[in-house]
Amino acid sequence: EVQLVESGGGLVQPGRSLRLSCAASGFTFDDYAMHWVRQAPGKGLEWVSGISWNSGSIGYADSVKGRFTISRDNAKNSLYLQMNSLRAEDTALYYCAKAMGLDYGDPSSGFDYWGQGTLVTVSS
């Protein structure tokens, strides 16, 4: 059974940093691209970032480019999101999502499994 378990969320002050983790199990982690998608309270889904199976290709939404860094450790079956210079508008539930293919930028690859999310609240 595929499982994605996010952790690392919490309350943080504006301008500070936070690192999210996603532990994956039930599938061959290094055979798939992985993504982060967020959902602000009461709002819709927003793609944040994606990373290819071998970290060779990475992409970010304009709203987080230069502040967030996605990475993965295939040996640990884990996905990460380093979030710096956090802003109030980054407050959201952050989901880890498994892609259906190898490359984050593959248009034929949707997100077939999602974690339950970890809540990030940016507030003073």
Binding positions for other proteins, rule: CB under 8 A:
35, 37, 44-47, 50, 59, 61-62, 95, 100, 105-108, 110-117
> Measured from the CB atom, is 13 or 44 closer to other proteins?
44
Q: Which two tokens stand for residue 83?
A: 């979030």
How near is the Cβ of 82 to other proteins at its closest, in Å?
Answer: 19
> Measured from the CB atom, is 56 or 105 closer to other proteins?
105
CA separation, residue 79 to residues 4, 43, 88 (Å):
10, 24, 24
Q: Measure the CA–CA gap between 9 and 117, rounded to whole angstroms.
A: 9
> Measured from the CB atom, is 15 or 26 closer to other proteins?
26
